[in-house]
Amino acid sequence: MNLIHKLNEYIHKKEEEAWIPKTHKELDTLVYEFFKFHGEGLYNICFESIDNDFVSTLISLISGKYSHGFTVYYCENIRAKLMDDEWHRLKLKYYTYYGNTEDIDTKLGKIKILVLAGTDSNGMNYFDYSAYQKRKQVIMKPLLTVAQTNSILHSYLTIDTMNAPYDYMGLAFWWFNRLFDDERAWYCSEIMYDTFKKAGILIAEEANPAPTQIVNYGDKIHTIIRKD
């Protein structure tokens, strides 16, 4: 679907130009201790809807109670787990999200809980989970082998994934059984499902799920460790 991808890319470029960098927030000690208690690895998280912009309002109409989902990676030394090219791309994403060019290696190295491909209007974002720590959410820890964890982590860090646009067309045509599917663009729960599926793990009953469908399927593949 070349035309569909071109439409997604056109919107993506406009949104990239309009992107306003965020201010980094410090990770709350209790939040850090919570993840430390449950151990290093990947976690899937879904937020309750707050409908504060067009996209979240549209998703909540489709999805129900939960309007956003993403995967985080908790590790005490994320740099040690990544290849040099992955770390380089991650630094570029840090700059995009926070807009701060000073000593990115040190700042990025301090992140212990990293959001992987957190979708927004400007595409795939990689940043500190501290940005989301105050939201009402469901936190789920998938039951994975070491090999599956590594496969999923590195899939989130490929060039194609990190530079992908948001799947505006997929969202727009949701009501038409995903009539136009752009395989090179994703919305939040779509990238989660596709990335886990590559490693042989299904996190929802059907493909192209809404965040609520991931939560509803949650305990079949996850341990649910927090549900606000």
What was the pLDDT predicted at 170? 80
> Are residues 196 and 152 in contact, defined by beta-carbon separation less than 8 angstroms?
yes
The residue extents of the domains of the chain are 2-227
pTM of the model: 0.93
For the chain, which residues score pLDDT lower than 70?
A: 1, 51-60, 62-63, 174-179
Counting Cα atoms < 13 Å in the Cβ hemisphere of 88 gives 4
What was the pLDDT predicted at 195? 98
What was the pLDDT predicted at 46? 96
What was the pLDDT predicted at 65? 84
CATH code for the part of the protein at 2-227: 3.90.1720
Residue 178, phi then psi, degrees to nearest 5: 55, 50
What element of type H or E holds 196? helix 188-198
What was the pLDDT predicted at 56? 63
What was the pLDDT predicted at 202? 97
**Which of 226, 166, 193 shows the shortest CA–CA distance to 70?**
193
Residue 179, phi then psi, degrees to nearest 5: -55, -40
- pLDDT tens per residue, range 202-219: 999 999 898 999 999 999
What was the pLDDT predicted at 101? 76
Distance of CA 27 to the CA centre of its chain: 18
- pLDDT tens per residue, range 73-109: 999 999 999 999 999 999 999 999 999 778 999 999 9
